[in-house]
Amino acid sequence: MHFYDILKYSTTSHDIVAEKMETTMRNILRKLSVLALGSLALCTAHAADVQWPERPIKFIIPFTPGGVTDNTARLLATLLEPHLGQPVIVENRPGAGGSIGVEAAARQTPDGYTMVYGTQGTQGANLALYKKVGYDPIADFVPVYGVSESPLVLVINPNRPFKTVPELIAYAKANPGKLNYGSAGAGTGTHLTAEMFQMVTGTKMTHIAYKGSSPALTDLMAGNVDLMFDYPAIVLPLVNGKKLTALAVTANKRLASAPDVPVISEFGLTGAESSSWGAVFVPAKTPPAIVKKLADAIEKAMVDPQMVKNNQKYGSIPMTGMRDQKLGDFVKTEMVRWRDLVQKSGASLE
């Protein structure tokens, strides 16, 4: 073989070997990079699990101060502090049936330092009541823990000719549109529960919307309104004072605070159950370790004597064990249920 041919062959062989070595090194570096990133992710998750929380946590309540929802959420914030080791700062951001505050929460950094108190309105009915809601209850949030639910009580003016649920239904069917019912406002639980009752019973009554429960109940006691659905903490004192008569509770079992008032299903009205519920959510993509730690803390707070007393005071029922995916599935069901009800009732806030 000629000298130049040998030189050319040697050079080519060297290039091939060098190329193979370079490819091998690239593969090794690529694998090391993947391992390093994986280790970094594990370390980050571990750090979040161990170190969170390191500063105060913001708790958005999307309603005005006062009332059952706000008081319950505020108490929860107080009870969480010893379990988390950091202050939980309440921030009221009301408006649009709670949608404004919930939308604000959805836009926060998913680092575990913002949580929001969602309800059957903000996570369900509002999507049908308002033409534009700036968040998705499923895609934009991680469900953490269900706090409590409060059924409603069907109350009537004591001077009405019907004294039981069957008598009320019979009267309403014999006089379609004649009976009127009050509510705390269009789209509220007091309104939609009455709409649900009419759908289940096949009756037709006239809705009179008020700006809050107080004026509606005042007219009910005065005889200007025939009936109303409202929450136990609000109406039971009036029932005990003989100013109103309670016909039924929209719960699955009788209330400890009103054991003599039958539940709606006792009259064969399946599907007429209704309750206002509240639960804690955090922005989507919040690390699972943080979500678990927060849910565990809420679970401990829920059995605190102060929370037990609070639920008894307001006639609320703890949503025991309603956390994580179970809460997520519940929200999906509620979205469909309230959407269908709103669409059938024709209720709208815009």
Instruction: Specify the pTM.
Output: 0.77
Residue stretches of the chain with pLDDT short of 70? 1-50, 350
Average pLDDT value over all residues in the chain: 87
Task: Report in angstroms the alpha-carbon separations of 94 from 25, 97, 153, 232.
Answer: 59, 7, 26, 23
Task: Report in angstroms the alpha-carbon separations of 285 from 108, 139, 282, 315, 340.
Answer: 11, 10, 9, 34, 29
- Which class for 346: exposed (0-12), middle (13-18), buried (19 or more C-beta within 10 A)? exposed
pLDDT value at position 252?
87
Answer whether the bond into residue 94 is a cis peptide, omega within 30°. Answer: no
125 and 187 Cβ atoms separated by less than 8 Å: yes
pLDDT value at position 19?
56
Rounded Cα gap, residues 324 and 37, in angstroms? 28
What are the pLDDT digits (tens) for 135-180? Answer: 999 999 999 999 999 999 999 999 999 999 999 999 999 999 999 9
pLDDT value at position 13?
47
What are the pLDDT digits (tens) for 181-223? Answer: 999 887 788 998 999 999 999 999 999 988 888 899 999 999 9
DSSP string for residues in 191-231:
HHHHHHHHHHHT---EEEE-SSHHHHHHHHHHTSS-EEEE-
Coil, helix or strand at residue 300: helix
Q: What are phi and psi of 162, to 5 degrees?
A: -100, 140
pLDDT value at position 33?
53
